[in-house]
Amino acid sequence: MTEFELITHYFQAHPNTRSDVILSIGDDAALLLPPANQLLAVTTDTLIEGVHFLPGTAPQTLGHKSLAVSLSDLAAMGAEPAWIVLSLSLPTIDESWLSAFCEGFFSLSNSYHLQLVGGNTTRGQLSISTHLTGFIPAGKALRRDGAKPGDFIYVTGCLGDAALALACLQGKAAIPAADLTIIKPRLETPTPRVAAGLALRDIATAAIDISDGLAADLGHILQQSNVGAALNLRDLPLSKTLQNLSQDRGFHLALSGGDDYELCFTVSPEKVSLLEGAFLGLDITYQKIGVIKQERGLKLEGVEGFTLKNEGHDHFLKNKTCL
Ligand code: ADP
Ligand code: MG
């Protein structure tokens, strides 16, 4: 199979279902019709073997995750996802790998009515880059810089499962096999909180998705909004599996474990009832975990003597890779 046969077979064959895609895969560039009076939200992410995922990770889960991480960024902006560009670097043309990758990738893209409109395919170390575009009415975007003292802080879902699953797969932690089966999908096939992001458009004052750990990512909101926060550790949403660990370990995973792809957002007290209404129809849990303060810094309350040892993941600071 040649490079062009690969593109035709695996990517171009996929039908175009969007009327705003004027010209899709097959020319030098895609031609897209942006919606009137909306901003484009644009984001990109790269997953590199050995850096972002373990060698030998199932291709179907990689197809899902490579798209999910970018969808999570659009969710955190409150944007409606629309178009994807996909850059693949592959060591060889492995058709069974490609088929499985496409299964994971297109089943997620179809469920959000996303259209793959172009990309690039080269030979090299296994690496997957997704570039996503979404739409958002001007003034409705969920930014990091809007949190105000007195706002409540929330997170969707629960925290720390992905980091625990990774630690188990690397042999750095051990939990019962049945528990690992439950939390492994939280690492490999995270659910981007797109519906929550859209529901929060008129409600949240700030939002971010948690990819590097709650403490680090909430820290971005605090810094960009020029505020501080107090979290109640007892309110952190932990899965049963995390609750079974020592309390200290559970809190550390929830605060500094990466790859959760949950949303952290702030809401003023006046909008709490709107928030409750907005989540009613969604199959997404959320939990109030603290409050924004005028005084800078992140205070961790509720448990005597707890101090956070490791804030979160940074590719250039501590471990050179996140694995
Ligand atoms: P060019 O050399 O002009 O950049 P390419 O030969 O790289 O074009 O690609 C041909 C067409 O296939 C383009 O429309 C490009 O967007 C698309 N394409 C290439 N690789 C991928 C991929 N992995 N996924 C989706 N579309 C792709
Ligand atoms: Mg060209």
What would the pLDDT profile of 161-214 be if each residue is shown by its tens digit? Answer: 999 999 999 999 999 999 999 999 999 999 999 999 999 999 999 999 999 999
Cα separation values, 10 from 84, 86, 121, 136, 218, Å: 15, 12, 12, 30, 39
Mean pLDDT of 62-70: 98
Classify residue 39 by burial, with Cβ atoms within 10 Å: 0-12, 13-18, 19+: middle
Those residues whose C-beta lies under 8 Å from the C-beta of residue 28, and which sit 6 or more positions away, are: none
What pLDDT score does 323 carry?
A: 46
Give 292-318 pLDDT, tens digit per residue.
999 999 999 999 989 998 766 666 655
29 alpha carbon, closest ligand:
1
What does the pLDDT look like over 124-152, one tens digit per residue? 999 999 999 999 999 999 999 999 999 99
What does pLDDT average to over the chain? 95
At 7-33, the pLDDT tens digits run 999 999 988 999 999 999 999 999 999
- Atom number of ligand 1 nearest to Cα 116: 25
CB distance 77 to 135 below 8 Å = no
Cβ atoms of 303 and 251 within 8 Å: the answer is: yes
Binning pLDDT at 50, 70 and 90, where does residue 321 land? very low
What is residue 1's predicted lDDT score, i.e. its pLDDT?
A: 87
Question: Do 170 and 54 meet the contact criterion of CB atoms below 8 Å apart?
Answer: yes
**pLDDT at 316 (0 to 100):** 67
Answer whether residue 320 shows pLDDT above 50.
no
Ligand 1 atom nearest 27 alpha carbon: 14
CA of residue 190 to ligand 1 center, whole Å: 27
Residue 29 CB–ligand 1 contact under 6 Å: no
From the CA of 26, the nearest ligand is 1
The rounded Å distance from CA 106 to ligand 1 centre is 17
